[in-house]
Amino acid sequence: MGLIDITQLSKAFRSRGAGLLYAIENFDLSIEPGEFFCLLGPSGCGKSTVLTMLAGFEKPTAGTLSLGGKPISAPGRDRAVVFQGDDSLYPWLTAVENVEFGLKLQGLSRRERREQAMTFVEMVGLARAKDRYPSELSGGMKQRIQIARALVTRPQILLMDEPLGALDAQTREVMQFELRRIWKETGTSVVFITHDIDESLILGTRIGVMTAGPRAKLREIFDVTLGEDRSRTNPGYTSLYEKIHSIVREEVERSRRGDGK
């Protein structure tokens, strides 16, 4: 049993005129504690569909998902979710108050809440901006606060759906570096969705490549055994990039021809 076990997962949507359309079919995956698992695949293949079921926002058509052996049937505090260009910060709360907010339900004193929130505000490098309101923060800073807010409740797993997708290239690079550092510091398990091969190679401990939809499943899982040098000057990096790139391209071609299995 892993931290996360997904077994024979299928998800169908009702489509206009065409009955049920299976976005995901017979998708299997196990994730161990402490992993930084990147789920990679072409746009529209069903990555977000898998994540929303892990988050408990949607129910599977068939199959099971479990976290720590317990079936996932609804959203829960054992999971934290960060979406692309997430802008769910409360505009009337400062940065640190936004992070604190997640702790309100946990019965901590004001002082304890502030202390714990500050630990994570510092971890994401925003101690000096702690009293700013969201409207006074850049996109990258807001995304850091989202991550701090997700981590402060100490979830068993952090679910991220293209969280850096809306950032400019430079900010994105900085955030990838920061995210990896935070993952190492906290030991939190992460499921990270991306369509960007480089991003998955920079961040992941394993990369699961999906087939193109409809009826998408996992095609292949790669162990990322690159150590710390995750740049194009590392021959291991470029060879893994090429391998993944060729199967992603096959999948994109397949979906363009419309012969998704």
Applying CB under 5 A, which residues contact Mg ion?
48
| Segment 225-229 long-range contacts (CB within 8 Å, at least 24 positions apart) | 226/201
* Least spacing, CB of residue 202 vs ligand ADP, in Å: 20
Name the one range near ligand ADP by CB under 6 A: 47-55, 77-85, 113-121, 130-138. Answer: 47-55
How far is it, in rounded angstroms, from Cα 143 to Cα 148? 9
Would you count residue 41 as binding ligand ADP (CB under 6 A)? yes
Alpha carbon of 123 to those of 135, 152, 214: distances in Å? 21, 11, 40
- In the bound state with ligand ADP, the residue whose beta carbon lies nearer, of 46 and 102, is 46
- In the bound state with ligand ADP, the residue whose beta carbon lies nearer, of 155 and 214, is 214
Length of the chain: 261
Would you count residue 217 as binding ligand ADP (CB under 6 A)? no
Residue 90's binding partner among Mg ion, ligand ADP, none (Cβ under 5 to 8 angstroms by kind) is none
Alpha carbon of 110 to those of 92, 115, 116, 155: distances in Å? 18, 9, 10, 21
Would you count residue 46 as binding ligand ADP (CB under 6 A)? yes
How far is it, in rounded angstroms, from Cα 137 to Cα 132? 7
* Least spacing, CB of residue 10 vs ligand ADP, in Å: 12
**Residue 41 in tokens:** 């695949």
Residue 43's binding partner among ligand ADP, Mg ion, none (Cβ under 5 to 8 angstroms by kind) is ligand ADP
Would you count residue 43 as binding ligand ADP (CB under 6 A)? yes
The residue from 31, 45, 89, 224 that contacts ligand ADP (CB under 6 A) is: 45
Percentages helix, strand, coil for the chain, rounded to the nearest 5? 40, 25, 35
What is the residue type of 34? G
- In the bound state with ligand ADP, the residue whose beta carbon lies nearer, of 125 and 260, is 260
Name the one range near ligand ADP by CB under 6 A: 45-53, 134-142, 201-209, 246-254. Answer: 45-53
Residues in CB range of 203: below 8 A, 6 or more apart: 36, 38, 176, 179, 180, 183, 192, 194
The residue from 31, 36, 40, 47 that contacts ligand ADP (CB under 6 A) is: 47
